Amino acid sequence: MYEMRAESTVGRGELVWHVIRKDVAASALCGRHLKHPSPAALLAQIEAAAERYCPTCMTAFGSAVRGHGR
């Protein structure tokens, strides 16, 4: 089970989306440990000017999905 989780980059108004595996602690596929979203982080998500996806997570997620597919 995979889930997207946004991490706000403080001070830059930018969100970075990581992919986490829910059955393994809250660590992203890129190896980054993500904190549980705090109220401040959720507010930052609403106010963020830009969003992007973590390329390392996207690559790992893509190969994981292909690996399970057949």
Binding interface with Zn ion (CB under 5 A) = 18, 28, 30, 54, 57
Upper half-sphere CA count for residue 54 (Cβ side, 13 Å): 22
| Smallest distance from Zn ion to CB 69, Å | 22
| Smallest distance from Zn ion to CB 30, Å | 3
Name which of 24 and 70 has its Cβ closer to Zn ion. 24
Name which of 44 and 57 has its Cβ closer to Zn ion. 57
Question: How many CB atoms sit inside 10 A of residue 20's CB?
Answer: 22
| Smallest distance from Zn ion to CB 64, Å | 13
Name which of 23 and 70 has its Cβ closer to Zn ion. 23
